[in-house]
Amino acid sequence: MGVQKTSYIKLDEDLTMTVINTNVGALMARTYASKAAQKTETSMERLSSGLRINGSADDAAGMAVANKMRSQLNGIKMAIRNSQDGISLVQTAESGMSEISNMILRMRELAVQMENGIYTSKDRDNAQLEINALLQEIDKIAVNTRFNDVNLLDGNYDQSIRAGNTNAETIRVAIDGLKTADTAKIEAHAVERAEDNSTVATDGTATLLKVKEASSIKIDTSVFSSTFKEKFKGDSLGVFSLATSAAGAKADNNAFTIDAKTGEVTSKYIMDANSTVSWGGANGLTDATDDVAAGGTIGHSIANSLVFSITVNYQTRADVAAGSAGHDEVITLTLQDLVANAGTTQLDDIQVETQAEATRAVETLDKALEQVSSAQAKLGAIQNRLQHNIDNLSKGAMLTEQAVGRVVDADFASETSSLSKQQILNQAATAMLAQANQSKQSVLSLLQ
């Protein structure tokens, strides 16, 4: 009896099963079609918005950097606006100053005119009327010059302009006040000319004159007595001199010099005094560097005034020939305004109703013009600084905006290429999905 042999058929383990429930090809095609569709949507979003980063998921680190740079950019742009507003403010203030400067020039012109000796008191009154009107207009401009309802020329404007993105970037703008009561303050003028003081009591033996504190005091012969003027008419070629002080008398002549030809008397020392000094003495000043207050040994104090006794001798040629002593002009000169700077003057004090007042007004107006010009120069410098700040910020804003664009802007060339690629992949994946679905139709033949 023979042995029966059994035959076995080994199935290949790698052989793909023929199934219907799980269509691997369709699943793969669907996955790649979904990825292609997602990338297509991303490309279309970037191309539509122009931005590479439309959400934090697109580039989290890049969005954080971009936000900081956008904050800086917005701050710079606002600082540019601030600086532009600052320039407008400065220009408004400068406009008011320019008009005040014009009025000061006009007042100085009037003061120089009225310093001439050809005008009557009525002429000087008319000039004073114009000066008073100009002073009122200066105050009106100083009080009412405003920018955004902020006073500029009243002396109180001192603010900072935010001129950059950070707190440290500021520009201080301080504008000088130009009200007449605050401008061109002078305690003692450079030169004062003596004026008539005959309204005070006198014994009739001296010519009474008055003068205010000054660096230099001058007395000319126009204020001398009528007795001198009559003698001078007869012979105007005589010689002037300061009489020698008698022993024990006040040596006030020692504080003055005289022009031998014109008779103009000039003080040697700065006539600047105050009520804290005890006046009196007979030796006169000896130190040419001292003023009256420092020396304190000349003249005598009466009712807060310093009184000098000056004797001028005038000898005509006939007097010299005859050996005559000539005429002694005795002058009592009162230096006024000695009480704690009571003599301080400013722009609103100027007058041109006498020649001496006109002389004083010219000096005051020169100082006022200097102050206004200095204030204008400061504003011009600030305006230039603000303009340079704007130029710098504008360039910084441009570069910052470019940097933000590099981080967040979409690259259209790259995105359009990516869009075309993903659209093709999407179409191919869709076609493969159709093929995978169709491939399972062959399984039906096994059921026939």
CA 268 – CA 337 distance, rounded (Å): 20
pLDDT at 81: 96
Cα 199 to its chain centre, rounded Å, is 48
Taking residue 98's Cβ as centre, other Cβ atoms within 10 Å add up to 11
Taking residue 212's Cβ as centre, other Cβ atoms within 10 Å add up to 22
pLDDT in tens, 116-136: 989 999 999 999 999 999 999
**pTM of the entire structure?**
0.71
CATH assignment of 64-185+365-400, given 1.20.1330.10, 3.90.1150.10, 1.10.10.10, 2.40.40.20? Answer: 1.20.1330.10
Q: Which of 133, 41, 147 is nearest to 88 (CA)?
A: 147
Contact 171, 89 (CB under 8 A): no
CA 406 – CA 52 distance, rounded (Å): 9
Cα-flanking dihedrals φ and ψ of residue 187, to 5°? -80, -45
pLDDT at 298: 47
Matching residue, tokens 């699943």: 27
Strands annotated E in 261-326: 265-267, 300-302, 305-315
pLDDT at 344: 77
**Low-confidence residues of the chain, pLDDT below 70?**
1-20, 201-204, 245-251, 272-305, 337-343, 443-444, 447-448
CA 163 – CA 79 distance, rounded (Å): 5
Contact 107, 364 (CB under 8 A): no
Tokens in use for 146? 């405003």
The continuous run of DSSP H or E covering 146 comes out as: strand 146-147
pLDDT in tens, 170-194: 999 999 999 999 999 887 788 888 9
Taking residue 427's Cβ as centre, other Cβ atoms within 10 Å add up to 12
Cα-flanking dihedrals φ and ψ of residue 251, to 5°? -95, 50
CA 117 – CA 352 distance, rounded (Å): 12
pLDDT at 26: 81
Domain boundaries, the chain: 24-50+410-447, 64-185+365-400, 189-344
pLDDT at 150: 95
Distances in whole angstroms, Cα of residue 419 to Cα of each of 47, 131, 395, 428, 431: 9, 82, 36, 14, 18
CA 40 – CA 59 distance, rounded (Å): 18
pLDDT at 394: 95
Of how many residues is the chain composed? Answer: 448
pLDDT at 27: 82
CA 335 – CA 298 distance, rounded (Å): 12
